[in-house]
Structure 1
Amino acid sequence: MKAVLSLALLITTAQAADWPTFRGPDRTDISGEKGLLKEWPSAGPKKVWTNEDAGLGYSGYAIVGGVLYTMGARDAVEYLIAIDTATGKEKWSAEAGALLTNGWGDGPRSTPTVDGDKVYAMSGKGTLGCYSVADGKQIWSASMTELGGKVPGWGYCESPLVEGTLVIATPGGAKGTLAAFDKTTGKLAWQTADWTDGAQYSSVIAVNHNGARQLIQLTMQSIAGVDAKDGKVLWKTEFPGKTAVIPTPIFKDGQVFVAAGYGVGCKAIKIGSNNSVETVYETTDMVNHHGGVVLVGDHLYGYNDKGGWTCMEFKTGKVVWTEKKLGKGAIHCADGMLYLLEEKTGTVVLIEASPKGWSEKGRFTLNPQTTQRSPKGMIWTHPVVSGGKLFLRDQELLFSFDVGGATPAP
């Protein structure tokens, strides 16, 4: 019986380590792992390996079953790339689309999504592809521009969302903001003809609310909830963005929080029992560009362009603390700790996820750093902890650091 219990605990631990899409299985950017280091050595955690050929771009990582999936540009082609998480060695690569060129750096921005024996990836120019996890063979593809979309200025950046038998993406445009495809065949299932905002850079989340599975997405004009089964718009409210709208929406207890950069700030709305929308607060206390915001317990954490690293109450928008001991960057949460990555220098900081204040438990600077990054570009790929390892990326350089591993079974 004890052996069976131990095996069950090991299986549970292994499942918790998987990170199948951008911001994790529930898109909260909170890892379910336990037993990670609560404090780092003075030089930072031990580096396990470096892969020097991940390609150019800002794609993040999906990590399932000991394989990391990311995207990168090599020469004039964007690739979906599979890497062994134990060794850092490439398993396979597959062409994903023509090269997106951009003054802030060429290449893909989207994070792949793994579902069973398939992986889905979005190229910078808007080709959504379905591939075999075994060898990278393409099974089907769909073009966002053929669905009426226009490639945004910084390219298509969202991570595809697998929802039941469907894959959800945001082509944008007159034919419909959101589109759903049969995840096996690629056949178009629906497109939101009653919502036609152009695509921005946020990724869709799926929640259970008011008896329906709702897909929530953010554009330059609005926040909306769509019925996953047929694409019908259930509710919509204004959100006037500027230049670019990027962070992923956050949902809890019927409340939706969104943020944007360029001076816009954040907004929280309450979705009533009849899908009515009520604004809870609008402030510039979380002007978050693209580093992301996480909700841990009842508090939001992220970088505010106006005031530095910020902790604020989710329900009220009240600021609890701010700190400027680290510059602007991305955030990730695992085992009660926040992993912060400064975009300009590649400095990585570990702090407690606590409303009591900034409690730092270690820092180090990513080394080496790329020489191929555009002068306008920075270290923008978000950190992820999976399988006891911290994964970081600077263009073609991909790193794995040992941050303690999962709690062993008794």
Structure 2
Amino acid sequence: MSPTLPPSPVGAFVFLVLAAALTGTARAADWPHWHGPQRDSVWRETGVLAAFPPGGPPVRWRTPIAAGYSSPVVAGGRVFVLDRPRSQTRGNTGGALKRMAEPGVERVLCLDERTGRILWTHEYDCPYDLSYPSGPRAAPEVDGDRVYTLGAEGHLHCLEAETGRVLWSRHYPRDFAARTPLWGFASAPVVEGDLLLCLTGGDAHTLHALDKRTGEVRWRALPPREPGYSTPVVVEAGGTRQVLAWDAEAISGLRPATGEVLWSVPFKTKLAHAIGSPRLAGDLLLLSTFFDGSKLLRLAADRPAAAEVWSIRGPSETRTEGLHSLMGTPFIADGHIYGVCAFGQLRCLRLETGERVWETLGPTTANGKPARHVTAFLVRHEDRFFLYNELGQLLLLRLTPAGCEELGRAQLVKPTNRAGVREVHWSHPAFANRAVFVRNDEEIAAFDLTAR
């Protein structure tokens, strides 16, 4: 009898249960979506270090890649990321509000999670006409044996995860008459059941749901307007499942199966600065944007509806109240909001009122001085947070209403992009299988975060 075959029906049952359990464990440790496996910026894996060793986390591997802002994702022993080879621009030398035309290609890369070896590459022609033309923005989305990717000029691909073979594709400008936003398409596609949710913009509708197997349009919703840059989230609220889509004009709740708009609350953002994802904690939904401050909504418990709790906006970007986030999505924990404000201030606010409790510049800036558009990303793990700042540093923090306690800091990669005169690195890390995966415009790297 082969040792790989169970000897009896009972043995077969036990074998299959154990195999399923092991498979579930492996998948639970992956990071297949924007903001993680449950899309909530929480890393739930155990056996992770509580302090950095001397010299920082050990390097598992480093692999050269090209430029881009796209976050890596990790699933099934593979790492997926997008880049733009031969890009000649870092940041935007012509100014943040100026489109820059540049020929070139985009690529989807698949790497071996264990070794960093490139397994396959999918490359396509993609001239740019946008601001900050270094490379793609949106994180890939992995669903089973498929990976979905979106480029900065609206090239949507469904690829076979194992081989990179194109199964179907769409192009937002061609198929939905969508004009590329000033800073490129950045809203990651989101799988919901049999659908792929895409915040496209366009001449007729702003949100499209595609059949994830074929790419065919299943429904269209929301009137035509600037899509912004925020990735939708799907939640259970008011006794029903809802897609929360935030565009440049409003935050809306929709029925996933049909696209029916269940409710909508206006929140017009200057320059379409809807970038971070909507953040739900219990029945409270938070939105934050650079120019227009923050808005807190309460989702009804007995029906799909939303009502404003508070809206706070400072008199200017240098005199902010509440929280004016740029790219990072704030985190809500224990009745408080933690997030990075317009000039790099890591702030704690009271959730129910938006009142500021404390702020600090230490974790986010090079010299403790404020700077415009400073960006950092927060991921919670157990009783602490990982903060990844624009300098390429990973910090271990304990964030409480009493203050910010720094537990460790490690330089992972160098900042290779530019924002004005500042060297920056604007790409969200992925946390999976007791490691952190980060990329800049020159390399992607994995660092071991296993507890010793």
TM-score scaled by length of structure 1: 0.90
Q: How does 1:266-285 map to 2 (within 5 A)?
A: 266-272=294-300, 273-283=302-312, 284-285=321-322
TM-superposed deviation, 1:106 = 2.1
Distance 1:318 1:33, change over 3 A: farther
1:85 aligns with 2:113: yes
Query: Which secondary structure does the structure 2 equivalent of 1:30 belong to?
Result: coil
Distance 1:363 1:6 in 2: 39
Distance 1:180 1:29 in 2: 24
Which among 69, 72, 84 is matched to residue 58 of structure 1?
69
Larger mean CA deviation between 130-139 and 93-102 belongs to 93-102
**2:236–2:242 CA contact under 8 A, matched in 1:** yes
1:187 aligns with 2:216: yes
Distance 2:118 2:398 in 1: 34
Which among 63, 84, 88 is matched to residue 73 of structure 1?
84
Q: Which residue of 2 is the match for residue 349 of structure 1?
A: 395
TM-superposed deviation, 1:6 = 8.3
TM-score scaled by length of structure 2: 0.82
Amino acid at match of 2:437: F
Higher RCO structure, 1 or 2 (CA under 8 Å, sep 6+): 1
TM-superposed deviation, 1:101 = 4.9
Which among 433, 438, 443 is matched to residue 387 of structure 1?
433
Query: Which secondary structure does the structure 2 equivalent of 1:20 belong to?
Result: coil
Q: Which residue of 2 is the match for residue 320 of structure 1?
A: 357
**2:239–2:304 CA contact under 8 A, matched in 1:** no
Unaligned segments of structure 1, at least 5 residues: none
Q: Which residue of 2 is the match for residue 233 of structure 1?
A: 261
Which among 336, 342, 367 is matched to residue 305 of structure 1?
342
**2:84–2:105 CA contact under 8 A, matched in 1:** yes
TM-superposed deviation, 1:102 = 4.1
Q: How does 1:356-371 map to 2 (within 5 A)?
A: 356-368=402-414, 370=416
TM-superposed deviation, 1:52 = 1.1
Distance 2:447 2:441 in 1: 17
TM-superposed deviation, 1:218 = 1.1
Query: Which secondary structure does the structure 1 equivalent of 2:27 belong to?
Result: helix
Distance 1:13 1:354, change over 3 A: farther
TM-superposed deviation, 1:309 = 0.7
Q: How does 1:8-407 map to 2 (within 5 A)?
A: 10-53=22-65, 55-75=66-86, 76-95=104-123, 98-145=126-173, 146-192=175-221, 194-243=222-271, 244-262=273-291, 264-272=292-300, 273-283=302-312, 284-305=321-342, 308-326=345-363, 327=365, 328=374, 329-343=376-390, 345-368=391-414, 370=416, 373-374=417-418, 376=420, 378-404=424-450
**2:145–2:162 CA contact under 8 A, matched in 1:** yes
Distance 1:15 1:238, change over 3 A: same
Amino acid at match of 1:359: E
Distance 2:384 2:124 in 1: 35
Query: Which secondary structure does the structure 2 equivalent of 1:15 belong to?
Result: helix
Amino acid at match of 1:187: E
Distance 2:127 2:263 in 1: 36
TM-superposed deviation, 1:165 = 0.3
Distance 2:336 2:183 in 1: 31
Distance 1:79 1:367, change over 3 A: closer
Distance 2:360 2:414 in 1: 27
Unaligned segments of structure 2, at least 5 residues: 1-10, 87-103, 313-320, 366-373
The number of aligned residues is 399
Distance 1:174 1:233, change over 3 A: farther
Distance 1:140 1:93, change over 3 A: same
Q: Deviations over 1:23-76 (max 9, x none)?
A: 1132211112122111112422112211112x2110001210111111011231
TM-superposed deviation, 1:331 = 2.1
TM-superposed deviation, 1:7 = 7.2
Query: Which secondary structure does the structure 2 equivalent of 1:74 belong to?
Result: coil
**1:51–1:88 CA contact under 8 A, matched in 2:** yes
**2:240–2:304 CA contact under 8 A, matched in 1:** no
Q: Could you say what the CA RMSD is over the residues aligned between the two structures, in angstroms?
A: 2.4
Q: Which residue of 1 is the match for residue 91 of structure 2?
A: none
**2:436–2:448 CA contact under 8 A, matched in 1:** yes
Query: Which secondary structure does the structure 1 equivalent of 2:354 belong to?
Result: coil
Amino acid at match of 1:175: A
Largest Rg, 1 or 2 = 2
Query: Which secondary structure does the structure 2 equivalent of 1:31 belong to?
Result: coil
Distance 1:367 1:278 in 2: 43
Distance 1:348 1:12, change over 3 A: same
Amino acid at match of 2:50: K
Distance 1:375 1:280, change over 3 A: closer
